[in-house]
Structure 1
């Protein structure tokens, strides 16, 4: 009788060990599959991040911040951030009552004011203007003088029309 009990215990232990082995093997396969899936997602995210960084570099190509040759024109002025300074001076033109003097149009729904500014280099600026409903773009030429005054000259302009 003792031999049968030991035989049953041995068979039970062997079945339990076999179950554990198969279960661990299946778990191992599932985890490896998940790891491979996550590696693929990580690689996809890295590729997407690299593509986004290239787009950002492409967008920043025409900007004063990334143009050392153009920034060299302002080294003697000891400005910490020439772009911010020029943008602030341009936004000061919005403070006058009525339309911004650089915008060659009369506002239809309000006064035309400059909204967005892109300083391209040491000579040119692109801006966006709007009265709340109508909008347009300006190309400006500017000159930052040694006394830190800035002269703005309108080069070209565009007013978008709405088609109803």
Structure 2
């Protein structure tokens, strides 16, 4: 009787070991597949990040922050961020009552105010203006003086018409 109990225990233990061996093998295969999928996703994400970085670099090509030659014009001034300073000065023109004085149109719904600003280099700014319903763009020439005053001159303008 003792030998039968030992025999059945041995069979039971060997069945448990066989089950664990098979299930661990399947689990390892599933994890290997999951790892392979994650590796392909990582490769795709790295490609996507690289493409995004290239697009950002391309978009920043025309910006004062990335133009060392244009920034050299402001070396004698102690400005940490000349583009931000110039943009702030341009936004100050919005503070006047009524339309922004640089916008050559009268606001139809509200007053035309400058919204977005892109300082292209040491001479030009591209801006977007709107009254809430109508919008347009301005090309502005500017001059940053030694006393940190800024003169703005409108070079060209565009008002988008709504097609209905």
Same fold (TM over 0.5): yes
1:62 matched to which residue of 2?
62
1:86 matched to which residue of 2?
86
2:140 matched to which residue of 1?
140
1:30 matched to which residue of 2?
30
Shift of 1:7: 2.5
Counterpart-to-counterpart distance in 2, 1:109 and 1:98:
12
Counterpart-to-counterpart distance in 2, 1:92 and 1:27:
65
Counterpart-to-counterpart distance in 1, 2:152 and 2:10:
95
2:158 matched to which residue of 1?
158
Counterpart-to-counterpart distance in 2, 1:12 and 1:118:
77
**How large is the Cα RMSD of the aligned pairs?**
1.2
* 1:3-49 deviation digits (Å, cap 9, x = unpaired): 33333222222222111111111111111111111112222222111
Shift of 1:123: 0.5
State the number of aligned residues: 164
How do residues 85-124 of structure 1 correspond to structure 2 at under 5 angstroms?
85-124=85-124
Moved over 6 A (4+): none
Shift of 1:88: 1.1
Shift of 1:146: 1.1
What SS class does the counterpart of residue 77 from structure 1 fall into?
coil
1:20 aligns with 2:16: no
Counterpart-to-counterpart distance in 1, 2:2 and 2:79:
96
Counterpart-to-counterpart distance in 2, 1:146 and 1:76:
8
Structure 1 unaligned residues grouped into runs of 5+: none
What SS class does the counterpart of residue 117 from structure 1 fall into?
strand
What SS class does the counterpart of residue 28 from structure 1 fall into?
helix
| TM-score, length of structure 1 as denominator length | 0.95
1:50 matched to which residue of 2?
50
Shift of 1:99: 1.2
| TM-score, length of structure 2 as denominator length | 0.95
